[in-house]
Amino acid sequence: MAMSSNWSLSSSFQTLTPSKPKAKPLLLRRGIGKKAIAMSLSQETAASGLQVVEGNGGLPKVSLSSIHGSKAEIYLFGGCITSWKLANGKDLLFVRPDAVFNGKKPISGGIPHCFPQFGPGAMQQHGFGRNMNWSIAGSENNEGDPIVTLELKDDPYSRSMWDFSFQALYKVTLNSKSLSTVLTITNTDKKPFSFSTALHTYFRASVEGASVKGLKGCATLNKDPDPSNPLEGKEEREVITFPGFVDCVYLNAPNELQLDNGLGDTITIRNKNWSDAVLWNPHLQMEACYKDFVCVENAQIGNIQLEPEQSWVAEQYISAD
């Protein structure tokens, strides 16, 4: 497995043969009416802290509930986690007030997928993973904490932009004070392909009091003031704040960052095999809501190349104190 990029990047990658789903996938296909979608789950699955319910716009939504009181919501459209609540009811994720739940436009908020392209490029912004329908490939429960695995495969829509066969598995685990994800991308084609990806996480915040620690010393690609021509640099600050427009890539970022959301929470963001990080706040470009969130994203900016039957795996673990 090789990685190609316009920049000099270094990281280690895992290869594995993905395990078979533990349950028959609950399929949600493009072009099928919302009311015609079969969303029946076995009693065993429903009792495991997982339910599929109708969400905004009639879109199917996976609801996770831990016996410890925490909750999470995941829309099958885009495989997008839109809510992560602690036992006290506080939601640490943010969905923009202009978010559209129509099964066409990506959901603006929560944890959208950028796949198989991060940012602008040959296909639409951030690729197609965030505006395709995922299916439920399996679920389980670990001592009262629910786990669900979503699956995305190529179809005519994806191949119209990116002519490869692939499988994406997204395992989401809800604990009392943490939310973890494992993303596995597998090349199911007969030819190699390359991709970039990110988890575009929106954290609820008071932007004036929000700050991030852990990025000092990283090489940076700063898209302020010219997004089309990022400035190369080096992060010198111990504590990074959001005084205005922020759109910056941090190359070869550490495996742990800390976000003070300005609302009394310290959120630790750990990762395995996400090589880079991105900080983003649109400031006055989104005047209605920019004060209420910051994006701290785990990303793989440089292209990963997978040979047939190879897989790439990356993990994210976010916890709150």
- Catalytic residue (one of 73, 151, 235, 297): 297
CA 90 to chain centroid, in Å, comes to 20
Q: Find out whether the peptide bond into 116 is cis, omega within 30 degrees of 0.
A: yes
Q: Are strands 293-306 and 166-174 parallel, antiparallel or unpaired?
A: unpaired
- Catalytic residue (one of 200, 208, 235, 307): 200
Q: What is the 3-state secondary structure (H, E, C) of the chain?
A: CEEECCCCCCCCCCCCCCCCCCCCCECCCCCCCHHHCCCCCCHHHHCCCEEEEECHHHCEEEEEECCCCCEEEEECECCEEEEEECCCCCECECECCCCCCCCCCCCCECECEEECCCCCCCCCCCECHHHCECEEEEEEEECCEEEEEEEEECCHHHHCCCCCCEEEEEEEEECCCEEEEEEEEEECCCCCEEEEEEECCEEECCCCCCEEECCCCCEEEECCCCCCCCEEEECCCCEEECCCCEEEEEECCCCEEEEECCCCCEEEEEEECCCEEEEEECHHHHCCCHHHEEEEEEEEEEEEEECCCCEEEEEEEEEEC
Q: 92 to each of 38, 45, 248, how far by Cα in Å?
A: 31, 26, 22
Cβ-contact 117, 126 below 8 angstroms: yes
Identify whether 309 is a catalytic site residue: no
In this structure, the dihedral spanned by the alpha carbons of residues 57, 91, 21 and 162, taken in order and rounded to 10 degrees, is 60
Per-residue tokens: 250 = 């941090």
Identify whether 232 is a catalytic site residue: no
State the catalytic residues.
Answer: 200, 297
